[in-house]
Structure 1
């Protein structure tokens, strides 16, 4: 048994309502590995979860934490002992905000030697999401033009870099305070609050864009679809506009998916898809293989310097409340990351 610290979300609370708890982590069983967590991210998913607004979150109370990077400290039967002492990344959905976790060994993806665990953490869920949307869903070719909403965020900033690596031109929306960051990543920044945002986009892409990546949802998704050129693809991957709206966590997503399905069936020559990173999870082996391949590609680009980690801030695990407040403030670019507390 190992003692560990974990952060508990007890219900619909403000960030300061998060609870710090000491717990006991069992020894890993068959096919499992015990991992000392070195970095775990604060994603938009946790911001929704604390409001009870994430589509399929577990019942309260639970430990949040969508992804992590850590070192294997012990393995159970059926797991190669050589994994001990090696660093891995994992997509967890929940449970990552802890100092020690037990995970299926098959879910672990190797982190290249020499890569800082915090930097690696910034491209786990963000990197898989960006890679799969760009290359598996939209399939944008070199020379194309895309529009990325929230270009300063974790997924957005990763998308910018992956696109530029493939010689894809990028227009990115962000608040003016982040325009230098967006520009520095090789994209054309546009104020997301512009009263005629479609017109600003058309100044740079008169015939429309090859793909739009939209995490906002709401009424603005109509403009996203209309900005596509023939043969273009809208990839919607969230409903951030309804984060603070009271009511069902599922209804906004269901309405969005229904609209996308309608568009996708319309004879317009344009595609519309809702991206769900967990699609195909029922076929566990295929899902894990695709995830490992895609995350492996992203981590390799981070290791060779093609990607630059966008770390907004690092907070000790026990200061998760402050980390969430900063992540939700809208004042940072990149990802806020939790690291081990000094006493952990």
Structure 2
């Protein structure tokens, strides 16, 4: 099948992305050929173009952390009934294309009637939010959490999943996004307010059952201080060090060390870094867990209990503009590429 792909050739500005056309081989054993209907621009790709994503492949490569599409053909060993079905997959790379070869074990069915772009917004964002909330932090019904970046792709999904689970949410965002954050059911705080830690504490004097921090950097200490006894700090990024020069792994390793130290301290609180790919070596168990969690998220989306936060739909060939928009800080939700 002919495929158009967006290639990241090296450390470049968005305009440096390249468009490539090529013929894809037939799917091999255990593979499926998927005609892509939607892929997204996440923080991972923003880091990859800077050469700062922790374990990204060598340049050049096709970005695209996740995708939604229809199965065109399957390879040997794959159930032929999969052909023609709409599916989603977390791919890490390769999603920014009109077609992609995917391990059939990584495919998750998308419910009938769900718009591909809407489904795309909750693939990696939905799995990330679900697993952080329910598998890592294990926040109980009636608890209170703090979500940094509550207007973002993961943040807005996390707010909705928490509210559906009967959890109170306080979320940080710029003032222009406060109305949207309130509409999702969270209590907003200006993320640039110098009194943010004090205001967050005032809204939960006994501390938070869960604090979800994608910012990292020095501010992670304030997040830790806001966690109540029995609660958890879940870190899932280091946006504060996005533009820091030098070894891209150093800020992340520093963050890992700090979280490990806190987690080992006998203070009744937990701290950890969320890694979607943890347990990947036990491939079957990893795929089953991801399939279960994403199926739960899709069920909420199909039922209307979760609203897709589509910030913009941008043609695949205009990926450079999509990246600029996603990095602008002016949008709420996820920028979606449409082949």
Q: TM over 0.5: same fold?
A: yes
State the Cα distance separating 1:37 from its structure 2 match: 0.1
Aligned pairs (5 A) from 1:39-54: 39-54=38-53
Name 1:184's counterpart in structure 2.
183
Deviation digits for residues 88-133 of structure 1, max 9, x if unmatched? 0000000100001111111100000110010000000000000000
Name 2:126's counterpart in structure 1.
127
- Whether 2:32 is the aligned partner of 1:33: answer yes
Distance in 2, Cα, partners of 1:29 & 1:52: 31
- Whether 2:15 is the aligned partner of 1:5: answer no
Name 2:260's counterpart in structure 1.
261
Name 2:201's counterpart in structure 1.
202
State the Cα distance separating 1:64 from its structure 2 match: 0.2
Distance in 1, Cα, partners of 2:253 & 2:45: 20
Distance in 1, Cα, partners of 2:103 & 2:229: 44
Distance in 1, Cα, partners of 2:117 & 2:234: 28
Q: Secondary structure at the match of 2:217?
A: coil
State the Cα distance separating 1:81 from its structure 2 match: 1.1
**Structure 1: runs of 5+ lacking an equivalent:** none
Tell me the matched-pair count: 339
Q: Secondary structure at the match of 1:219?
A: helix
Distance in 2, Cα, partners of 1:100 & 1:4: 5
Name 2:68's counterpart in structure 1.
69
- Whether 2:155 is the aligned partner of 1:156: answer yes
Distance in 2, Cα, partners of 1:110 & 1:335: 21
Deviation digits for residues 16-62 of structure 1, max 9, x if unmatched? 00001101111111111100000000000000000000000001100
Distance in 1, Cα, partners of 2:178 & 2:83: 43
Distance in 2, Cα, partners of 1:8 & 1:228: 41
Distance in 2, Cα, partners of 1:246 & 1:159: 31
Distance in 2, Cα, partners of 1:247 & 1:130: 30
Aligned pairs (5 A) from 1:154-303: 154-303=153-302
Runs of 4+ in 1 over 4 A off after TM superposition: none
- Whether 2:76 is the aligned partner of 1:82: answer no
Distance in 2, Cα, partners of 1:203 & 1:268: 22
Distance in 2, Cα, partners of 1:43 & 1:249: 18
Distance in 1, Cα, partners of 2:25 & 2:53: 29
Distance in 1, Cα, partners of 2:214 & 2:146: 12
Distance in 2, Cα, partners of 1:314 & 1:193: 28
Distance in 1, Cα, partners of 2:337 & 2:247: 29
Name 2:20's counterpart in structure 1.
21
Name 1:313's counterpart in structure 2.
312
Distance in 1, Cα, partners of 2:29 & 2:230: 48
Distance in 2, Cα, partners of 1:46 & 1:230: 35
State the Cα distance separating 1:196 from its structure 2 match: 1.5
State the Cα distance separating 1:77 from its structure 2 match: 1.0
TM-score, scaled to structure 1: 0.98
Distance in 2, Cα, partners of 1:198 & 1:242: 20
Name 1:333's counterpart in structure 2.
332
